[in-house]
Amino acid sequence: MSETVTSTQVHGGGATADQIVSVDSATNQHIQVRINRGEAGEIEGRWEEFTVPLAKGMVVLDTVLWVQAHQANDLAARWNCKAAKCGSCSAEINGKPRLMCKTRVEDFNLAEPILIQPLQTFKRIKDLVTDVSWNYRINATIKPFTPRQDREWKWFQHDADRAQEMRKCIECFLCQDVCHVLRYQTEEKPQFAGPRYFVRTAGLDFHPMDGAERLEQLADEHGLGLCNITYCCSEVCPEHIAITHNAIIPEKERVVDEFHDPVKKFIRKIQKKK
Amino acid sequence: MTTTTTSQIHEADVLIIGAGGAGLRAAIEAAAQGARVAVICKSLLGKAHTIVAEGGIAAAVGSVDPRDNWKVHFHDTMQGGKFVNNWRMAQLHAQESPEEIRNLELWGALFDRTEKGGVMQRLFGGHTYKRLVHVGDRTGLELIRTLQDKAVAERIQVFMETTITKLLKHDGKICGAAGYVRETGRFIVFKAPAVVIAAGGSGRIYSVTSNSWEGTADGQALAFRAGAELMDMEFIQFHPTGMVWPHSVRGILVTESVRGEGGHLTNSLGERFMERYDKERMELSTRDVVARAIYTEVKEGRGSPHGGAYLSIAHLPADFVKRKLPSMHEQFLAFAKVDITKEPMEVYPTTHYHMGGIRVDGDSTATNVPGLFAAGESAAGLHGANRLGGNSLSDLLVFGARAGRYAAQYALGAEHITPSAEEIALAEHEAQAPFEATGENPFALQEEMQNMMMSEVGVYRVEEKLKNALNQIRDLQERAANVRATGSVMYNPVWHTALDVKNMALIAETIAQSAHLRTESRGAHSRVDFPNYDANLQKGNMVARYDGQNVTVAFVEQPPMPQELHDLTYNKPEVAAAA
């Protein structure tokens, strides 16, 4: 085992890895990005165009951060991990809800400017930043995890798989943004929790040790019935959660089978009494 | 000139600065003790850097290997930390982390399972047994979401997108904190007798880092300015495997799980070069050793086309890779157009974790400032000179819980003093200063500092470079004091960066000074001019102090270890297991 270091290992004299990489990635090209900016509450906003040096493999978030550092220091944008793991940098890029950090510039026709605007379903705070606090309020209404008392604390991978898919969610709110039930800016959202919270509820309901009942909440307070299965949410999910197929449809089936069906409800009641 | 509106004063027993794993765990525990808790969250709730943790939570639950127990975990942690860890913290951490896994499960966490229906555990570098409890390669997300859901269920108050700029004191004791709300730019004041700093690390001081924009050392700087001591600041973990290519994603973490699940490191000649650096443990040597190995291979001309080493898992079945490493598979497909089930990754060390931080009491997490506590990456001690993978998540659970408990107990017996109007006005004035300043663009200054620190205080250090760094840091500090913000106070990144760079420049000095004073190579701290261990420097730690003007660093010896822990530290794990 080598626990000591020698000077020859360090002072090699050649190019450092930093130099190798920056030389390789530089291009002489520039691209145009058009960023929709605006103050609190502005829906239309204004488009500002910036010229950004192109580096190989760069993502849309790089262009925004470059503009922020060099041309518009007060340009507001949310971001955190820059690794597609935190779901902060959601925006609409050329009209599609996407994570800015996961969208490569080279995937677009670079002869045209790239259009970057905030999520359209939520009110603007400033520039690319929107007020997503409504989502947090909905989240707080969901009945929390409630451990079952009637079984041994033991389960297997196949018991966990379904719930684990739901727990991959990074709360980027792209599904909320694209959902047609929510997609307009009004003072009050309809009584509808949105795909993110059907996913969260399903994650709890599918948990092998959870004992809470959320059907009534799903059917009434969270308006699951308003979803008419257009799959838009599933398409934009950067975590590839099959939102419609694996969360919404199974929950809709449960609501129909177990909550609304009066005959079954009656039978269940009787069975419970036995 | 823009001004904020009149400050509002919020009251709490325990104010927690930071809403990552440590902060949320502290909040849950403090609330359980009956304290009124307020949590400051620099971003939106649930976005903290904990989320990027991939591999797992190290805890000797013995679900996969029943030979494991706290003594082996303690031994591994001390060995990995090269013996300068706060041994009391290493003991408590090893003893209490299994209980924290149990807590997470009771709160709804769904870890991967073994065939027997227990929690699955995987091997990481420096751990004797398969120890890391995990969910694929997204363990940090599971941890954050579980704690977030618990905090929400407990109705804990969270102030999102709020930045604390100053801790407030009265008669030498903490009485609150001040800062601003990003959305409105409104100044905000908290009155609280106990403050827990759980604000993460400092990776953003370096140009190549796995850290999010938040890792700007502000938790450390807040405590330091308030009179708290910092310790082990020279120990910065360069994670061996960050992404290299494309340039824009440089530094993004490639989880150690790739190696833990059987990945191989090779150079341009196709050699598994770890044979030369740690024949016994190979790719699963400790992070300091693997990082130096990759650095050396590239330096000596055996690197990959973009200046890294190859890391391959393609020899294992594609299904296995996709199941065990789904987010790595996705990350490389999306960013680099590389299918890791078929092709190797290119990796190079990236600034990842600060072992150093706020000096705390091992049991209570209390600092030397009455009322001030610290936990998680902001605090120092547990990891010594090198952190083992997986020990950070267990760290923030164990010491997050302890910080919450002790801060609550302290606060419930303490006098609540309203911060003085003068102090509030001063804090507000300082926060506003960039709008009146006429200096340079803080983004440019930040970039300059990051590049300088990477080249002068990076993986390898040497006297001459460290001296140069210290000179440059003092220049950067002067310039940082006068960086300017433009625009309004509302959601303004340049204002935030103007405040960040002052913190970063202050903390950079503690790093460079401590690195300069530690004239040996130990763990993550590698001195070209002092390549060996120095037995005297094994006895303690570098402790930094700040009087508001000057940073001083001095070597402070640790109290001697009890015999039992001493034996566990230096004996082989097999022996420890039998003990």
pLDDT score at A18: 43
Interface test with B, best of A82, A101, A106 (most B CBs within 10 A): A82
Return the closest-CA partner of residue A87 out of B43, B247, B514, B91: B43
What is the count of structural domains for chain A? 2
Residue B90 has pLDDT above 90, yes or no: yes
Looking at per-residue confidence, does A15 or B185 come out higher? B185
Chain-centroid distance, C-alpha B289:
19
Among B494, B480, B415, smallest CA distance to B452 is for: B480
| Rounded distance between C-alpha atoms, residue A240 and residue A242, angstroms | 6
Total of domains in chain B:
2
CB-count burial class (<10 Å; 0-12, 13-18, 19+) for A184: exposed
Distance CA B176, CA B178 (A): 7
Q: Which of residues 173-192 of A touch B (CB under 8 A)?
A: none
| Vertex A155 angle, CA A149 and A159, to 5° | 110
Interface of B with A in 440-469 (CB under 8 A): 441, 443-444, 447, 454-455, 460, 462
**Residue at which a domain ends, from B305, B323, B351:** B351
What's the whole-number mean pLDDT along residues B19-39? 98
pLDDT at A259: 81
Instruction: Give the pLDDT of residue B7.
Output: 58
Instruction: Name chain A contacts of B300, Cβ cutoff 8 Å.
Output: 9, 12
The residue in chain B having the minimum alpha-carbon distance to the alpha carbon of residue A162 is B110
Pairing of strands A26-37, A114-117: parallel
B145 is catalytic: no
Mean pLDDT of chain B: 95
Q: The CATH number of the domain where B303 resides is what?
A: 3.90.700.10
Is B502 inside a domain boundary?
Answer: yes
Band of residue A268 on the pLDDT scale cut at 50, 70, 90: low
Question: In angstroms, rounded to a whole number, what is the distance separating the alpha carbons of residues B313 and B318?
Answer: 9
B555 touches chain A (CB under 8 A): no
Take residue B439 and report the two structure tokens written for it: 């200096």
pLDDT at A28: 85
Which is more confident, B467 or A3?
B467
Q: Final residue of a domain: which of B298, B332, B351?
A: B351
Banded pLDDT at B247 (limits 50, 70, 90) = confident
Considering the domain architecture, whether residues A13 and A106 belong to the same structural domain is answered as yes
Same domain as A189, residue A88: no
Q: What confidence category does residue A273 fall into, taking pLDDT thresholds of 50, 70 and 90?
A: low
Whether B239 sits among the annotated catalytic residues: the reply is: yes
For the segment B143-150, the average pLDDT, to the nearest whole number, is 98
Residue A142 shares a structural domain with residue A228: yes
Q: What is the mean pLDDT of chain A?
A: 88
B477: domain CATH number is: 1.20.58.100
Hey, are the CB atoms on B244 and A79 less than 8 Å from each other? no
A170 in contact with chain B, both atoms CB, cutoff 8 A:
yes
The secondary structure of B490-542 as a DSSP string is TT-HHHHHHHHHHHHHHHHHHHHHHHHH--S-BTTBEESS--S--GGGGGEEE
Chain B nearest-CA distance from A251, in A, is 19
Hey, are the CB atoms on B307 and A17 less than 8 Å from each other?
A: yes
Q: How far is CA A242 from CA A87, A253, B334, B498, B567, in A?
A: 17, 16, 19, 42, 53
Partners of A83 on chain B (C-beta within 8 Å) are 52, 210, 249, 252-253, 331
Inter-chain residue contact B212 with A82, CB threshold 8 Å: yes
Rg (alpha carbons) of chain A, rounded to whole number: 24
Among chain B residues, CA nearest to A167:
B142
Is the per-residue pLDDT at B143 higher than 60? yes
Residue B475 is part of which domain span? Answer: 432-539
Check whether residue B249 and residue B346 sit in a common domain.
yes
Whether B110 maps to a domain, the answer reads no
Query: pLDDT at position A21, please?
Result: 40
Q: Would you state the pLDDT for residue B248?
A: 82
Across the range A162-169, mean pLDDT stands at 97
Is there a single domain that holds both residue A195 and residue A265? yes
Whether the per-residue pLDDT at A146 is higher than 90: the answer is: yes
Cα separation values, B273 from B125, B127, B527, Å: 16, 21, 22
Window B:96-125, CB contacts with A under 8 Å: 105-108, 110, 112-113, 115, 117-118, 120
Give the residue-averaged pLDDT of A127-141.
97
Answer yes or no: is pLDDT of B505 > 80. Answer: yes
Q: Percent of chain B at pLDDT above 90?
A: 95
DSSP structure string for B296-350: HHHHTT---TTSSEEEE-TTS-HHHHHHH-HHHHHHHHHHH---TTTS-EEEEEE
| Residue that wins the pLDDT comparison between A271 and B415 | B415
So what's the ipTM on this one?
A: 0.94
| Structure confidence by residue, pLDDT tens digits, B156-184 | 999 999 999 999 999 999 999 999 999 99
Report H helices in chain A.
7-10, 17-25, 60-70, 133-141, 157-166, 174-178, 195-205, 215-219, 232-236, 249-254, 262-273
Q: Is residue B344 part of a domain?
A: yes
B482 band by pLDDT with thresholds 50, 70 and 90: very high
Where residue A183 sits, what CATH number does that domain have?
1.10.1060.10
Helix axes B21-32, B139-153, angle to 10 degrees: 30
- Specify which residues B386 forms β-bridges with: none
Interface of A with B in 103-142 (CB under 8 A): 104, 125-127, 129, 131-133, 136, 139-140
Please tell me the number of Cα atoms within 13 Å of B556 on its side-chain side: 17
Q: Do A144 and B108 touch (CB under 8 A)?
A: yes
Residue pair A217/A247 in contact (Cβ under 8 Å)? The answer is no
The predicted structure's pLDDT at residue B301? 96
* A-chain residue closest to B454, CA distance: A18
Question: For chain B, how big is the Rg over CA atoms in Å?
Answer: 23
**For residues B15 and B194, is the Cβ–Cβ distance under 8 A?**
yes
Single residue among A103, A130, A157 that ends a domain in this structure: A130
User: B157 touching A, CB under 8 A?
Assistant: no
Domain of A204, in residue numbers:
133-273
Please give the Cα distance from A40 to A118 (Å, whole number).
12
Please name the residue ranges forming H helices in A26-148: 60-70, 133-141
- A14 and A90 in a single domain? The answer is yes
Domain co-membership, A99 together with A7: yes
pLDDT tens figures, B525-575: 999 999 999 999 999 999 999 999 999 999 999 999 999 999 999 987 664
Distance in angstroms (rounded) separating the CA atoms of residues A211 and B107: 12
User: Which of B351, B386, B406 is the last residue in one of the domains?
Assistant: B351
> For residue B513, what are the CA distances in angstroms to A221, B380, B551, B555, B558?
59, 17, 9, 11, 20
Q: Are residues A108 and A176 in the same domain?
A: no
Looking at the complex, report in whole angstroms how far the Cα of residue A86 sits from the nearest Cα belonging to chain B: 5
pLDDT of residue A9: 31
Instruction: Answer whether A24 touches B (CB < 8 Å).
Output: yes
Supply angle C-alpha B179, B176, B363, rounded to 5. Answer: 115
Could you tell me if B529 and B508 are in contact, meaning their C-beta atoms sit under 8 angstroms apart? no
pLDDT in tens, A17-58: 443 344 446 678 999 999 999 999 999 999 999 999 999 889
- Kindly state whether residues A68 and A179 are assigned to the same domain: no
* B46 close contact with A: CB closer than 8 A: yes
Residues A73 and A107 reside in one and the same domain: yes
| A98 and A68 within one domain | yes
Question: Do A145 and A192 fall within a single domain?
Answer: yes
Note whether A45 and A108 are same-domain residues. Answer: yes
Flag whether pLDDT at A100 surpasses 90.
Answer: yes
* Of the residues A107, A130, A153, the one at which a domain ends: A130
B171 touches A at CB < 8 Å: no
Give me the pLDDT at residue A272, please.
61
Structure confidence at residue A10 (pLDDT): 31
Please provide the DSSP assignment of B464-491 as one string. HHHHHHHHHHHHHHHHHTT----S-STT
